[in-house]
Homo-oligomer: A and B are copies of this chain.
Amino acid sequence: MGNPVHDEAGAMESDIASAASSCRHAEYAPSVHKVGFPPKKKLVEEFTETFKETFFPDDPLRTYKDQPKSRKLVLALQSLFPILEWGPEYNLAKFKGDIIAGLTIASLCIPQDIGYAKLANLDPQFGLYSSLVPPLIYAIMGSSRDIAIGPVAVVSLLLGTLLQNEVDPIKDKVNYQRLAFTATFFAGVTQALLGCLRLGFVVQFLSHAAIVGFMAGAAITIALQQLKGFLGIQKFTKKTDIISVMKSVWGSAHHGWNWQTILIGASFLAFLLFTKYIGKKRKNLFWVAAIAPLISVVLATLFVYLTHAEKHGVQIVNHIKKGINPSSADQIYFSGSYLTKGIRIGVVSGIIALTEAIAIGRTFASMKDYELDGNKEMVALGTMNIVGSLTSCYVATGSFSRSAVNYMAGCHTAVSNIIMSAVVFLTLKLITPLFKYTPNAILASIIISAVIGLIDFEAALLIWKIDKLDFLACMGAFFGVVFISVEIGLLIAVTISFAKILLQVTRPRTVLLGNLPRTKIYRNIEQYPEATKIPGVLIVRVDSAIYFSNSNYIKERILRWLRDEEEKLEAKLLPRINFLIIEMSPVTDIDTSGIHALQELYKSLQKRDLELVLANPGPVVMEKLRASDFMELMGHNKIFLTVDEAVMTCSPKAREDV
């Protein structure tokens, strides 16, 4: 392989050959900088640094430095209960903003709560319970000023689907409710644990593209579920995929859909969508879209009451249990087969709920330019759900639509959640009988108009433009949810996310570098067509740390670059390669497998009569190469600060002088 061509390019050959021998024997040339060793760190120091960077990247104890003990105690309490921090600074101006925002989101949340509880196959009052206690806990412990807490569509659907796989919600209502509370308890435990152990970064492992697809699929699924109430169908499939739903819908078509129901539902849906459109077009009319659901409920209830539409087949809510949250601490399973089921469902829904809440919190914190500690938020959300599970609530989290309304209505602090909670309190105490004649169709319309906002076409389009493989992931999650089931869609989303991470790790990029003429700069020849390869030298840049997960691939890939290059040179009868320079600046770290791969590469090259040269290794890599004796094997004079210095030392005449 690669016999030197003696006849052609003879002068250049001998130059390269003599430079090769001088490279083997020379000490540092005067223009070559010495590659520095970093100061040796103690084991404890190294470990502490890595630990801090992994779990405490935002340096949360920064404010505790140099403070007296009493102050530290105050800071610690304020950290756990942020209300102690912003409470004393509360004033009337903030209260004005909060009370308007609170009333607005309350009007939005009451009809949604009743509808979402249905999604979770629970009685309507449980939705209202979950808008009463959790927001209060959050207001004490949470840090986001704009998030609106309560039941949300996607988590309610997820919970409903997972629970009804285990227990029938109609035939075994008691156990179903007990399992719901158990799942909520363990969702809260999961969230609080992740926050306490500062494992918040786990939530980031769901790829954005997969989430977009999953949310859109969930929205479609939820809208399809509403067809039951919307069309007044009695017999409806338990499954959630589009095929089963459509079968149910067309199957009952010849029974006749209830036209009165459709009339009510369709007209109010049109009204709601119209108000939503107005709210988007003119930002100052957002409140119209916000109070539209409550007005629709009132009007629809009046209409049914006056026309006695329920006698014409229009299904109504009929009964919401009066009174505030009863205790449910005795209903949670702490043993038995339902315990493991509850834990499993709790962990899954807890993490999904976290993803929503953290995304919302970060978005508004970034818009209003304040900082949000993700792990602290998780502890607050977890505590909220634990307490909620003891007071007949199910999994609550931040709602996109309500938080946006909260923000636009001018909220200042979490007091808006307290106001909303107070309104729900009054509703449960006094107003629930008035919902008797509320038609299911209006709730269906409200939910449909709410989830349509979850389908983010713009995000999907952006993903398509940026990364087609990402778009595949998005579509995979979407179709998984719509055509198979919510759990399978979620599983597809998670698997795709992990596969992406693994792919990134296991197939790192390697590129060939060429010299930009008349400069000392070397760039990727694929991106810069003017970059020219240096004769007799092959320069490869490895764009990743070299770990066990990719060391073998990197070694084989470099050898393949070499082989392809030599084949091309042979075909054109050009002189062969004598030096393989590896540009190491992106190689942030290396482990024993990586060093082993470098050793094998070195031996492989020796057999082919090539020299291995390293350029610009980082401090960590330098340290490890020295510790492993690889540097002795290779020779310290083969390591250079820049690619240019390496090229100039190994092949001085090969590059045009600058």
**Which positions in A face B, CB cutoff 8 Å?**
33, 36-38, 43, 46-47, 50, 53-54, 57-59, 201, 204-209, 362, 366, 369, 459, 462-463, 465-470, 497, 500-509, 516, 519-521, 523-524, 526-529, 543-545, 547-553, 556-557, 560, 585-586, 588-589, 591-593, 595-596, 600, 603-604, 607, 618-619, 622, 624, 627-628, 641-642
Distance of A449 Cα from B484 Cα, bound (Å): 56
Q: Are B208 and A588 in contact (CB under 8 A)?
A: no
Query: How many copies of this chain are found per oligomer?
Result: 2
The distance from the CB of A276 to the nearest CB of chain B, in whole angstroms, is 25
The distance from the CB of A367 to the nearest CB of chain B, in whole angstroms, is 9
- Specify the chain B residue showing the minimal Cβ separation from A583: B585
The distance from the CB of A430 to the nearest CB of chain B, in whole angstroms, is 44
- Known contacts A58-B560, A526-B619; A209/B591 CB under 8 A: yes
- Known contacts A529-B36, A641-B521; A501/B543 CB under 8 A: no
Residues of B near A502 (CB, < 8 A) are 205, 501
- Known contacts A585-B585, A618-B527; A507/B627 CB under 8 A: no
- Known contacts A366-B600, A591-B470; A507/B36 CB under 8 A: no
Distance of A548 Cα from B209 Cα, bound (Å): 9
- Known contacts A586-B585, A592-B463; A36/B509 CB under 8 A: no
- Known contacts A521-B641, A547-B504; A592/B366 CB under 8 A: no
Residues of B near A58 (CB, < 8 A) are 556, 560
Q: Are B362 and A526 in contact (CB under 8 A)?
A: no
Distance of A206 Cα from B204 Cα, bound (Å): 24
Distance of A500 Cα from B362 Cα, bound (Å): 27
Q: Are B50 and A591 in contact (CB under 8 A)?
A: no
Q: Are B549 and A501 in contact (CB under 8 A)?
A: yes
Q: Are A204 and B552 in contact (CB under 8 A)?
A: yes
The distance from the CB of A650 to the nearest CB of chain B, in whole angstroms, is 19
Distance of A407 Cα from B624 Cα, bound (Å): 31
Q: Are B600 and A468 in contact (CB under 8 A)?
A: no
Q: Are B628 and A466 in contact (CB under 8 A)?
A: yes
Distance of A508 Cα from B523 Cα, bound (Å): 23
Q: Are B57 and A497 in contact (CB under 8 A)?
A: no
- Specify the chain B residue showing the minimal Cβ separation from A642: B521
The distance from the CB of A13 to the nearest CB of chain B, in whole angstroms, is 26
The distance from the CB of A126 to the nearest CB of chain B, in whole angstroms, is 34
Residues of B near A205 (CB, < 8 A) are 502, 506, 548-549
- Specify the chain B residue showing the minimal Cβ separation from A628: B466
- Specify the chain B residue showing the minimal Cβ separation from A467: B591
